[in-house]
Structure formats: C-alpha cells, structure tokens
Amino acid sequence: MDVSRIHRVLNNAVALARLNNDGAPATYIPELAHAPHEMTSAAITLRDGTCLRAGETAFHRFTMHSVAKVILLAAMLEENGERQVFSWIYAEPSGLSFSSAAQLDIFGPAPSNPLVNAGAIVLCSHLEGEKAERLAWLESWAEKLLGERVRINPRVFYSELQTGDRNRALAYLMKSNGVINGDIAEILHTYFYLCSIETDVLQASRMTMLFANAGREHTGARLLSERTAAIVTAIMTTSGLYDESGMHLVRTGLPAKSGVSGLIVAVALGRAGIAVASPRINEKGGSVRGHIMLEHISRELGWHFALR
C-alpha cells in the first residue's frame, strides 16, 4: 500500500470534517457535555504495524463508551465460546436505538445483539468473581486489545452512575423476565466501568487492526482466535451503529462501532484498523465528523468491502 497516499487521505479527511459543525456532545451524560467541541482526530494502523495519525492526536483523549462493548464481546467469546455467549443473547440487528427497551419486546426476552446496551449488560452479568475481580478482568482484556495500560475516567464513571436510569430500567426489565440474575447495582457498576475506559485514536485503531488481520498483531502473534475476530466483525457490520448501521455500510463498506463520546472504530478487512473521533454526535449517537472522515477514507482509498 502507498503509505504516503493513505496519510494524505487521512489528513484530508480530518480537514474536510472540520468544516462541519453539526451535532453536539451527548448532554444526557453530563460529563460528556464538557468535551471540547472542536477536538477532531483520526488514526489508521496498517497490518504491518505502521500507524498514521491526523488531527489533535497528541492530546485528544476520551472514554470508549459503547466501543468498549467490542472488547467485552471478544473476551467473552474467547473465554466462554460462541455457543455459550449466544445462549445468553441473540446476534440480530435491532434497527432501533442503542438504549431501546422496545427491542426486548420485539426480539426478547434476551437482547437482540451484544452491541446494544441491554446486550452488554447481560454479558456483564455473566462475569465471575467479586467486584474487584470483574473490574480487573475488564482492564486486563482492554490492555491486551488496546496494546497499552488503560485508565478509567472517574468523572465520566460517576456521571454514568448518577444518570444511568435508562440502563437501570433495561436491567430490571431483563431481570423480571429471567434474562439476568444477580444484583443490578453490581452489574451496572461493571457496565459503567467498561464504558469509562479512556483511550485515544492510536490505541483504538490498533485494536481494530486485530479484527482486520484475523486476530493477529502485525508481528504475527495471535491475540484473538480467527473465529472470534470474524464473529465480532460480522456483528459490527450488522449492528455496530445501531439504527444507522445500514446507511453507514452503504456509504463506507467498513464494519464499525460507535460510541456517544464521539469515537467510531472501523475495520478495513485485510488492510487496516481505523479510529476517528470528534464529540459532536447526531441523534443516533454517531459522531458527525467521524462519519465524514470514514466516508472520505473509504471512497478515496477504495476500501469499501464490496470493491475488494
């Protein structure tokens, strides 16, 4: 691949995205409302380990929020196997928002897929051990896939604890239907902790490169089984952006996962991992500038999966 051309396209994607001022940070999680509106960054990690960056990558950090569900899903598949995981949840696109309660009635009683809030809450309910053990397990897997030590943003974590009533409602509804057991407060503590993992686009693009490279690092070392990488990528394709997954795939052909902090990660199969971030989100929870960057990268580089 022409690395200089890819880097030029990446820089142009960031410049193009900065012309758009639509959207706003997620205010229903108060701490996210404080994010600097203009922060915009992007990174691409190629299969050979080359990492290209553009925008404010030196100081743009953010919490992963729903993008961290990818880590949870991959880890649960590795340790429990797909038969067990898909006995707890389904793997169908809901066509509804990330916090929809209606999907539990439509697809229920189990959540439609592991990338909606309800699905990740169910997976958190199946983590073993006391609170400290569960949190240490999450950190260990996050560090493995992101490639560096991670930290939890305490302000975002406590903001989630104080305002997460929608997720509490989902959890209690599922408990009433026999989908989850255990203490709801403990389960949600784990889930909010997962969402509060802090990262940047460099780490996030390295993680998605693993899925682009069938679970292997650029060195050839295997971090995930090929089967796990394939399953996670497939579910990202159908459900990673909730009720905008279809149009995103039409425009980019890149399996992806969004988070309301403004991060979107994407997989260019067999080529690279991509991460884009900017806090202004649309009504469906996806970064407005992030969408612009991904579409530009895909079109200019011909990375739509149907064009391979």
296, 68 in Cβ contact below 8 A?
Answer: no
Region of 210 (left: φ > 0; alpha: ψ -120 to 50; beta: rest) is alpha
Q: Which amino acid, one-letter code, is at 155?
A: R
The model carries a pTM of 0.96
Task: Quote the pLDDT of residue 95.
Answer: 85
Exposure class string for 136-153: b at 16+ Cβ within 10 A, else e: ebbbebbebbbbeebebb
pLDDT (tens place) for every residue of the chain, 308 residues total: 799 999 999 999 999 999 999 999 999 899 999 999 999 999 999 999 999 999 998 889 999 999 999 999 999 999 999 999 999 999 999 888 888 888 888 877 999 999 999 999 999 999 999 999 999 999 999 999 999 999 999 999 999 999 999 999 999 999 999 999 999 999 999 999 999 999 999 999 999 999 999 999 999 999 999 999 999 999 999 999 999 999 999 999 999 999 999 999 999 999 999 999 999 999 999 999 999 999 999 999 999 998 86
pLDDT for 256: 98
At 101 the pLDDT is 85
Residue 174: count other Cβ atoms within 10 Å of its Cβ.
Answer: 24
Under 8 Å between Cβ of 174 and 180: yes
> Rounded CA gap, 40 and 54, in Å?
9
User: How confident is the model at residue 1, as a pLDDT?
Assistant: 72
Adjacent-strand bridge partners of 216: 222
